[in-house]
Amino acid sequence: MTGSSTWNGAAAPARDAQPGAAAAVSAPGDVAQLPNSPRSAGLLERLNRWLDRDHLPDPAALRSLYAATLTDSAANRLARQWADRYLAADAEERRCLLAGLVHAGIGLEPPVDHASRLFRRLYAESDRLALMVELRADMLRWRNQVAGLSALEQTLAVLLSNWFDVGMLELHHINWDSPASLLEKLIHYEAVHQIRSWDDMRRRVAADRRCYAFFHPRMSDVPLIFVEVALTEQMASDVQVLIDPARPLADLAKARWAIFYSISNTQRGLRGISFGNFLLKRVIEELLSELPKLRSFATLSPIPGFADWLGKRSGAEIQDHLADKTERQAAAQDPDAGARWVDLLRAAASGSGPESSRRTGLRLAAHYLQQLRGGDPLDPVARFHLGNGARIERLNWAADPSDKGLEQSCGLMVNYLYEPDQLDENRARLAAGKPRVSRSVQWL
């Protein structure tokens, strides 16, 4: 591409013809002469978008975002313009803007240093940390469609991990007196158990519940990750009881367990930048400070990969974990035995199948939760909690018979137990390929 190195909306750089566009079109006036037909209307729309994009800077201009010093006023002015344009753009234009960035950086050495300078400039000139998070979210979305975008994404991920160092995060307790705008964000971002109404929201932050979130001081209105906690007398085994908005308040004086029943990350652009383990550690400290009679800390967690994993297993792969001889014989030569068991367990958990399948379901789930790939647990939630030093404490039959619970895990849920003085030992056992499991799970 050739043309002006300025970007002011008045002097647009000349561009080569877009593949598939009419070569004869050279000015907006030419477009009006096209025939009036559905096909031409679609072409008109494409050409108008192309002409609109003539106001984007060409790679020669964008190259200064990488190469110029961080004190270069012209490059910094261009960075502010680019950031403003990006924030106002729709998805299609954002992808075009990112492709332009990639193209402008081709050939610069060393590439990581130049890419780091690009993002530091954009952050400094836009003064918006949220923009950098949005940029990475979009890069993750399109990294397989835009050649070269993956390398930029990886550089930005390293910078974000520094900008979101856990030492900079602030822990806030969220309750019914928190701003309505913040409570609305929790409703929107809740990723585990949908918050269906304001009554539901009110119950989640009631006196026998706690909700804590991490915030960054430069994004003070956005919770980055939040955890919902139920304070109970016993280790919970049914999530529908915990999230029932009509459930009466429990007596806090009798509470001995803190049950983490929902943990939600809110920013896709921070994927892989883990601070969930620090959140739980801080929350445990806060709870013990407020409620010193608490003795135990556990989760009531979904098993989101279980049904998909089981559905792909042949009878030969699972027969050793079936509960009785008849089941094992029936599955031995059945390549679709896993899929049949998924259907059977879903039916049983929803009350329309044989209760006798319960033990087999628990055995299969226990086996699945201990499966490793590359040294890490196969299930994503198990990967998080076992990696943080928890142990698999108990499996719960029909603990989540919601549509989502049946679809993902045949209604099963698991308690992961956090014992502060055992966390390091449990992590060492996981590293050795032997995740820590309670006796009750071992004996299934």
Q: Report the pLDDT averaged over residues 372-377.
A: 95
The pTM (predicted TM-score) of the whole model is 0.83
- Name the catalytic one among 64, 216, 385, 409: 385
Pair 252, 207: CB distance under 8 Å: yes
Residues of the chain above pLDDT 90, percent? 80
pLDDT at 277: 84
Directed axis angle between helix 91-104 and helix 129-142, to 10°? 90
**pLDDT for 400 beyond 80:** yes
Q: Is the pLDDT of residue 45 over 70?
A: no
Instruction: Flag the least confident range among 165-174, 274-283, 383-392, 431-440.
Output: 274-283
Token pair listed for 259: 């049950």
pLDDT at residue 56 in the model: 58
Whose CA is closest to 298, among 391, 212, 364? 391
DSSP three-state, residue 286: helix
Active-site residue, 385 included: yes
3-state secondary structure of 214: strand
Q: Active site residue: 301, 321, 357, 409, which one?
A: 301
pLDDT in tens, 324-370: 888 888 888 899 999 999 999 999 999 876 767 899 999 999 999 99
Rounded Cα–Cα distance for residues 108 and 265 (Å): 35
Whether 254 shows a pLDDT value over 90: the answer reads: yes
Per residue in 275-284, pLDDT (tens digit) is 888 999 999 9
| pLDDT single digits (tens) 195-212 | 999 999 999 999 999 999
User: Is the predicted pLDDT of residue 101 greater than 90, yes or no?
Assistant: yes
Q: Are 66 and 118 in contact (CB under 8 A)?
A: yes
pLDDT in tens, 47-66: 344 435 445 567 788 999 99
Domains of the chain: 56-163 (1.20.140.90), 167-299 (3.40.630.150), 306-442 (3.40.630.150)
* Active site annotation includes 193: no
pLDDT at position 27 over 50: no
Chain-wide mean pLDDT for the chain?
Answer: 87
